[in-house]
Amino acid sequence: MLNLFQPRANPPLALRMQNQAEDLYFEGNIVQKPFIAPAALAALVLSLAGAPALASSESDALADCLYENTSSADRTVMVQWAYVTLGKTRAAKAVQAISDEKTKAVEAEAQKTLTKLVMKRCAKPAMKLLVADPKNGLQDTLQTLAVKLAKREVEKRTSPILSLTITDLLRVR
């Protein structure tokens, strides 16, 4: 006969999960509380709740600084980087393939330019980003910077060429 009051040597997973939810589980015949380090719990909560919001504003601040402090030559290098980055997509490759050598050369030049900009002109927002999001912050910054640079280039080229308005497109014929 099964004794319901005696702990089983190896309780089923569902029972262990239920007991963990109650902060108790059976390990052999000993009842133990699971241990979660307070620092680990705080890090988890911050990474799930607060960090993305902080990283976004810090990332945007660095992207703004980089954008505002680029020279014409810097902008050219960073637009080329954005171009070869998009060139890696299937859609872009269908239009024009960019050689691996050219991609590597452009990426190396972009890295030098980015390093110069961060170290000389945008050190303060870069340090804030390092504290807020050392893992993904730079990636977010570069995405924002690429969008700003691409938007500027598209605006310069489409305004005289594309004279259509949304009403022109929606006009029933």
pLDDT tens, residue by residue, 31-70: 444 333 333 333 333 333 333 443 479 999 999 999 999 9
Q: Which domain holds residue 114?
A: 51-152
Name the domain count of the chain: 2
Distance CA 60, CA 51 (A): 14
Residues 86 and 128 reside in one and the same domain: yes
Q: Is residue 136 part of a domain?
A: yes
Whether residue 68 is found in the same domain as residue 31: no
Residues 116 and 74 in one domain: yes
**60 & 120 share domain:** yes
Residue 171 resides in a domain: no
In a domain, 73, yes or no: yes
pTM above 0.75, yes or no: no
User: Which of the two residues, 16 and 60, has the higher pLDDT score?
Assistant: 60
Quick check: is 88 in a domain? yes
Question: Which are the contacts of 18, defined by CB distance < 8 A and separation ≥ 6?
Answer: none
- Is-contact 127 61, C-beta < 8 A? no
More confident residue, 40 or 7: 7
What confidence tens digit (pLDDT) does each residue in 81-128 have? 999 999 999 999 999 999 999 999 999 999 999 999 999 999 999 999
Q: In degrees rounded to 5, what are phi and psi of residue 123?
A: -65, -40
